[in-house]
């Protein structure tokens, strides 16, 4: 069965510093996709970044990068130069089936950025 | 603007009173689904639909019904809500296959007393 694990329920980071949010996954599929979403206190789900299992380069989107280590089955999110607005819940997710649309989510990590 | 809309955004109801949460998308997506979010559990899929009149159970379908009579709409129905269905609900849509982003609605916060 496919599974996503986020082992950090909560994290603190100082403003302007970088932070890594951990995500490990388990799947027997050869082709899969990994997503990160941000959920601010207002509740909406904001797509941040995507990594395909066959992508050779780590995905980057502005201050967000995904540290993809396939052999270790990890897909950690790195946020550089943290801002106060980065305080939110962050979810790692995996696409459940190649021809479907289901996402399997981790438990989430609540990030707090300190001024 | 491409979007998924949900209504209502907030709802407080009582046990046993039937309710419907509406969901609509304007992106012509085939795949639509409902998730519920609970603390410490992340989001879990309730039901999904791969096209009009094609629906199937997700991971936590008990106590819920759905229908897909039109491609754009995918309502979630709670025939007899119970307190354990108090949760934050998200509707989402995407294109089937490929590496496509899933678009989420703004969420519906449901409280069942």
Alpha-carbon gap, residue A10 to A3, rounded angstroms: 20
**B49 close to A (CB below 8 A):** no
Burial class (CB in 10 A: 0-12, 13-18, 19+), B7: middle
* pLDDT tens, residue by residue, A60-94: 999 999 999 999 999 999 999 999 999 999 999 99
Alpha-carbon gap, residue B91 to B105, rounded angstroms: 5
Q: What does the pLDDT read at residue B95?
A: 86
User: Using the beta-carbon criterion (under 8 Å), do B44 and A43 form an inter-chain contact?
Assistant: no
Q: Quick one: which H or E segment has residue B33?
A: strand B31-38
Q: Do residues A101 and A94 touch, judged by C-beta distance below 8 A?
A: no
Q: What does the pLDDT read at residue B101?
A: 83
Query: Taking 70 as the threshold, does the pLDDT of residue A102 lie above it?
Result: yes
Q: Which residues of B touch A98 (CB under 8 A)?
A: 97
Q: How far is CA B71 from CA A69, B20, B74, B108, in A?
A: 38, 18, 8, 21
User: Using the beta-carbon criterion (under 8 Å), do A101 and B41 form an inter-chain contact?
Assistant: no
Residue written as tokens 């309710």?
B19
pLDDT, mean of residues A99-104: 80
Q: Quick one: how far is CA A23 from the chain centroid?
A: 6
Using alpha carbons, select from B37, B8, B20, B28 the residue that is nearest to residue B96.
Answer: B28
Q: Residue A35 is encoded by which pair of tokens?
A: 């997503």
Alpha-carbon gap, residue B100 to B104, rounded angstroms: 13
**A47 close to B (CB below 8 A):** yes
* pLDDT tens, residue by residue, B58-96: 999 999 999 999 999 999 999 999 999 999 999 999 988
Burial A15-36 (b: 16+ CB within 10 A, else e): eeeebebbbbbebeeeebbbbb
**A41 close to B (CB below 8 A):** no
Query: Taking 70 as the threshold, does the pLDDT of residue A98 lie above it?
Result: no
- Nearest Cβ partner for B42 among A33, A35, A108: A108
**B40 close to A (CB below 8 A):** yes
The answer to whether the bond into B84 is cis (omega within 30° of 0) is no
- Other C-beta atoms closer than 10 Å to the C-beta of A3 total 11
Q: What does the pLDDT read at residue A60?
A: 96
Alpha-carbon gap, residue A72 to A88, rounded angstroms: 26
pLDDT band for B98, please (50, 70, 90 cuts): low
Determine the number of helices (DSSP H) and then strands (DSSP E) in chain A: 0, 12
- Nearest Cβ partner for B106 among A9, A37, A43: A43
Q: Residue A96 is encoded by which pair of tokens?
A: 């459940």
* pLDDT tens, residue by residue, B1-31: 889 999 999 999 999 999 999 999 999 999 9
**A108 close to B (CB below 8 A):** yes
Query: Taking 90 as the threshold, does the pLDDT of residue B100 lie above it?
Result: no
Q: What does the pLDDT read at residue B56?
A: 93
pLDDT, mean of residues A21-49: 94
Task: Output DSSP code: residue A27.
Answer: -
Query: Taking 70 as the threshold, does the pLDDT of residue A41 lie above it?
Result: yes
Q: Which residues, 6+ apart, have CB-to-CB distance to B93 below 8 Å?
A: A101, B4, B25, B27, B29, B31, B32, B33, B74, B102, B103
User: Using the beta-carbon criterion (under 8 Å), do B104 and A102 form an inter-chain contact?
Assistant: no
User: Using the beta-carbon criterion (under 8 Å), do B50 and A107 form an inter-chain contact?
Assistant: no
**B41 close to A (CB below 8 A):** yes
């Amino acid at each position: 069965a496919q599974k996503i694990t986020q082992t950090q329920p909560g994290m603190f980071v100082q403003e302007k510093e970088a932070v890594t949010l951990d995500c490990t996954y388990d799947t027997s599929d050869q082709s899969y996709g990994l997503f990160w979403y941000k959920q601010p206190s207002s509740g909406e789900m904001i797509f941040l970044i995507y990594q395909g299992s066959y992508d050779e380069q780590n995905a980057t989107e502005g201050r967000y990068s995904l540290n993809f280590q396939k052999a270790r089955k990890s897909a950690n999110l790195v946020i550089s130069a943290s801002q106060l607005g980065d305080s939110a819940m962050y979810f790692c997710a995996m696409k459940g089936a190649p021809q479907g649309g289901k996402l399997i989510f981790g438990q989430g990590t609540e990030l707090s950025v300190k001024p | 603007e491409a979007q998924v809309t949900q209504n209502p955004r907030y709802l407080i109801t009582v046990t046993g009173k039937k309710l419907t949460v509406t969901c609509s998308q304007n992106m012509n997506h085939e795949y639509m689904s409902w998730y519920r979010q609970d603390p410490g559990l992340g989001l879990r899929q309730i039901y999904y639909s791969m096209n009009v009149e094609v629906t199937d159970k997700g991971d936590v379908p008990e106590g819920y019904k759905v229908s897909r009579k039109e491609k754009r709409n995918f309502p979630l129905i709670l025939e007899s809500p119970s307190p354990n269905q108090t949760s934050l609900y998200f509707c989402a849509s995407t294109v089937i296959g490929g590496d496509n982003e899933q678009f989420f609605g703004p969420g519906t916060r449901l409280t069942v007393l």
